Amino acid sequence: MDLDEIKGLKVVKRGWLLGVRIKQLCVSFRSGRVERVAYIGVEKPERWVEAINERITLMLASKKWRYYATDPGSGGDAQRPAG
């Protein structure tokens, strides 16, 4: 799944093998027209949420910069976007 398909991230406590409850990463994402949810058992899921959110932020900032650099109305000058 691509980063831009992710709609939400959270940490939930769910049953796992033999009824053991562990913290799992819950990822909401869009696959075509359908919204899906995946539960992933990882060590320290809070760190995964932070890391994924950071990568999404960097990806969005990169797309914003590319837009301003290629926008014909901006005079071809890549200026820092507001916000």
* Tens digit of each residue's pLDDT (9 = 90 or more) over 15-63: 888 888 999 999 999 988 899 999 999 999 999 999 999 999 998 888 7
Going by their DSSP bridges, the two strands 34-40 and 21-31 should be labelled as antiparallel
Answer whether 79's CB lies under 8 Å from 36's CB: no
Distance CA 58, CA 74 (A): 22
Task: Give the pLDDT of residue 46.
Answer: 95
Task: Give the pLDDT of residue 17.
Answer: 85
Q: pTM for this structure? A: 0.66
DSSP-assigned beta bridge partners for residue 39:
26
Torsion of CA 67, 70, 71, 75, to 10 degrees: 130
Task: Give the pLDDT of residue 79.
Answer: 52
